[in-house]
Amino acid sequence: MAGMLVPPAHAAPNSAPPGALFNVRGFGAAGDGQTDDTAAAQTAINAALKAGGGCAHFPAGRYRITRSLLLGSADRIDITGDGWTSILLHENNEHLLLWKEGVACRECSVRDLALLSAGTDKSADVAALACLGGAERCLFSHLLIKGDGARVGSGIVVEGVMDTTTLDHCLMWEISGTGVKVARGSEVRIFGGRIIGQDRYRDRSIGVHLTGDNGGVHIVTTDLIGLNTALQIGERGSKANREVFLTHATLDGCIHGLVQIDGAYTSIAGCWAASSDEEQILLDSSAEGAILVVSGGTIFNGGALGRGGNHGLVVRAGSFTLSGVTVRSNKGTGILVDGDAVRDYAVTGCRIVDNGVGAALKGNNYVFTGNVLARNGQHLLDAGGPNKQAANNVLAVSK
């Protein structure tokens, strides 16, 4: 909507048709960065809700918001701006845009806005956008969430259910909590954008957290950088997720890259998993029944700062397939199968080079074949079996 002439707000909300536009300026918002525009913004939102669904629009400006803006249960309400020149200054230590528990965020959108933390530092569990009653068939698009003189908490948090909802090119900078929290549901899309942490050693930050019972979650060309954990699949005590697809994404510079603690099927295709302290990809010991499929891409530089376990792929439960992947320059072990319960796995056609240990294998019923191992401190430690095939690999002279 950038560059468009915004029509005035409806003076008589009761007569406005569903889908009408309600300009916050027409309800008294100044957008000058000095005036408290909370009441005007809430009045515009209420007018859109009263009309049965409409658009509360923030033209370019800086709008001070000093308490939560409450969204009601009307379907098809939109909160929009003119792009990142439309700035909501999030001054209070509570959620900025809030659908409370029991209030559905259904067929709604929030787009083309900058949601900036100002005034008070935010607690890790305080979000720029919170759907505590769930989000269904929604769009959150082209949002900038970052600090403006105050610490950022979380980005977009959904509780209850998150179904058929898309996040499109949202940028979250210096997150101390959770960038995107995805509640149970299906058909969730996260396209593009970046989620960057603030202090991975102090914060328990998570880029994307799939809390449980999710299926059809696609994370595509998204960067998750400098966090405590880039992507967490599952949480203890919750129902396992079902299918997760990570495609051409970047996990970089975290303490933990991808951590899976449940039995989901996870597909990783063409991704860059690099420079995490502990491990780039982990199937935790609690991930019984998990199936991990990694094809293409790179697992690189574990322990770049010399802290932690320094490993590439670590598997402690479940089963996995690694095919056509470059595993290189991990200071610990490039591929570490660390559990006798791991079984029915295959590592084929991979380039495993310049690691402390190329691969350390345990478990049963596996194939390790057709791989090239070069310049590792030790190429292959094979403690598994008895039913296995570890043959037809190229092992260069160790460095």
* Banded pLDDT at 12 (limits 50, 70, 90): very low
Q: What is the pLDDT of residue 219?
A: 98
Backbone φ and ψ of 67, nearest 5°: -155, 170
* Banded pLDDT at 74 (limits 50, 70, 90): low
Q: What is the pLDDT of residue 18?
A: 55
Beta strands in 91-242 (DSSP E): 97-99, 105-106, 109-117, 127-131, 135-136, 139-147, 154-158, 162-163, 165-168, 171-175, 178-182, 185-191, 194-197, 206-210, 214-220, 223-225, 229-233
Which residue, among 170, 199, 195, has the nearest Cα to 250 in the 3D structure? 195
Note the pLDDT tens digit of each residue in 112-171: 999 999 999 999 999 999 999 999 999 999 999 999 999 999 999 999 999 999 999 999
The residue type at 242: R
CA–CA distances in Å: residue 2 to residues 25, 53, 56, 168: 16, 22, 15, 17
Which residue, among 344, 354, 302, 341, has the nearest Cα to 320 in the 3D structure? 344
DSSP-assigned beta bridge partners for residue 209? 181, 232
DSSP-assigned beta bridge partners for residue 293? 267, 321
Q: Are 105 and 137 in contact (CB under 8 A)?
A: no
Can you list the alpha helix ranges (DSSP code H) found in the chain? 38-50
Q: What is the pLDDT of residue 5?
A: 38
Q: Are 19 and 55 in contact (CB under 8 A)?
A: yes
Helices (H) and strands (E) in the chain, counts: 1, 44
Note the pLDDT tens digit of each residue in 183-196: 999 999 999 999 99
The structural domains of the chain, with segments of one domain joined by +, span 54-395
pLDDT (average), residues 83-103: 97
Which residue, among 73, 79, 84, 75, has the nearest Cα to 96 in the 3D structure? 79
Dist. CA 313–CA 329, nearest whole Å: 12
Tokens (6 digits) for 200? 């991975």
Q: What is the pLDDT of residue 75?
A: 74
Does residue 315 carry a pLDDT above 80? Answer: yes
Dist. CA 18–CA 11, nearest whole Å: 15
The residue type at 229: T
Q: Which residue has the tokens 């001054």?
A: 91
285 C-beta neighbours (distance < 10 Å), count: 15
Does residue 10 carry a pLDDT above 60? Answer: no
What's 384's DSSP letter?
Answer: -
In words, the CATH class of domain 54-395 is mainly beta
Dist. CA 367–CA 389, nearest whole Å: 5
Report the Cα 119 to chain-centroid distance in Å. 26
